[in-house]
Structure 1
């Protein structure tokens, strides 16, 4: 585990920053309230920094663990083999900011709407991986194998369907905004990736 992270210093730094920021937030309510995404403070007080800082806070150890495990499994491969350090950082931070901004725009009339978590950034990284490796297996709940492209399409479709649901406790808005941003940044960095993706899909279909 540590050998993988040592070979991927950006992923290691991102995980360390998330853990450190979240641990402070767990024990310091004033710090948490000053940095989480709260639509009222963003819309009325123009505290847009919250879109960024909220992406390093988490609501519970379980929430933190889930996001960091996903980043651990996909981050090093993106950083080292697929995107390179600069591309990886672009996907991560553009997805993080886009996820938070999407949540604000979707809920700008709900001034009490709040959110935290690296889900937008992690969603962008995950969708970026799906673009490069459409038929690699992603294990849902660590058990159920699903081709990456199927997971990606289902993830974006469900996030779009559930986005804006006031009864949901899951930040689908951040998931959707982050996933779309991750896709677009990946295409901008690697313009030929869509042709490659389509070719791989057509090749599979023609062989069936």
Structure 2
């Protein structure tokens, strides 16, 4: 499978920054998403944290997903719109994280997961019938994955018993979905049922947030 220079560049830059962060705590802390620092005005962390990862497994999982879906999405939307989806999804994921955890002192997060979810969900909306592999092994229709993963993310935020940035995942997915629907409005008509089903966990998330149950 060929890989485009754009996807390769994103992977390479993310790998270099991750390597530096894993070997230099001061660098890691300076650029990670730290809720207190962001609240104090260091807004650049909303972007820079997307190039850091907590360990190499975290990095590999994200970059493998980008490898499998990045070029597919780019072939359908073009280079410029692909870059837009990637970085807007990253930023929206972290903005939603900020909104939900702004009063949780000491909250920190890193990772390209918001951007990756944007790419993945935009790809799913283009082709809901393609098969995905959970852990790259277990086959599942992408439309089913899209719904179940959003539900799992809401559950994960509700339980708060792991170190996964579920809010960034949901924010990135929402951004990717909205951008691809803006690009191809015909997809709204073609995938109306799927969009409606995906709205259920998203609406549930915001109801739980408003009630203070997250």
CA contact (8 A) 1:125 1:182 kept: yes
Q: Secondary structure at the match of 1:79?
A: helix
Supply the distance in 2 between the matched residues of 1:135 and 1:166 (Cα, whole angstroms): 32
Aligned counterpart, 1:168: 162
Supply the distance in 2 between the matched residues of 1:157 and 1:88 (Cα, whole angstroms): 26
How many Å apart are 1:196 and its aligned residue?
Answer: 2.2
How many Å apart are 1:51 and its aligned residue?
Answer: 0.7
CA contact (8 A) 2:118 2:175 kept: yes
State how 1:154-165 maps to structure 2 within 5 Å. 154-163=148-157, 165=159
Aligned counterpart, 1:129: 123
Number of corresponding residues: 195
Aligned counterpart, 1:184: 178
1:38 aligns with 2:34: yes
1:87 aligns with 2:81: yes
For the aligned residues, what is the CA RMSD?
Answer: 1.7
CA contact (8 A) 1:106 1:164 kept: no
Aligned counterpart, 1:51: 46
How many Å apart are 1:161 and its aligned residue?
Answer: 3.0
Supply the distance in 2 between the matched residues of 1:155 and 1:50 (Cα, whole angstroms): 26
Supply the distance in 2 between the matched residues of 1:199 and 1:27 (Cα, whole angstroms): 47
Q: Give TM-score scaled by structure 1 length.
A: 0.89
Q: Which sections of structure 2, spanning at least 5 residues, go unmatched? A: 196-214
Aligned counterpart, 2:204: none
CA contact (8 A) 1:55 1:117 kept: yes
CA contact (8 A) 2:143 2:194 kept: no
How many Å apart are 1:165 and its aligned residue?
Answer: 4.1
Q: Give TM-score scaled by structure 2 length.
A: 0.87
Residue-by-residue CA offset, 1:129-154 (whole Å, 9 max, x unaligned):
11011010001112211111111111
Residue from 60, 65, 74 that aligns with 2:69: 74
Say which is worse superposed, 166-175 or 89-98, in terms of deviation: 166-175
Closer, same or farther: CA 50–199 of 1 in aligned 2, 3 Å = closer
Residue-by-residue CA offset, 1:83-123 (whole Å, 9 max, x unaligned):
11111111101100011111111111112000000000001
CA contact (8 A) 1:99 1:173 kept: yes
Residue from 10, 18, 27 that aligns with 1:22: 18
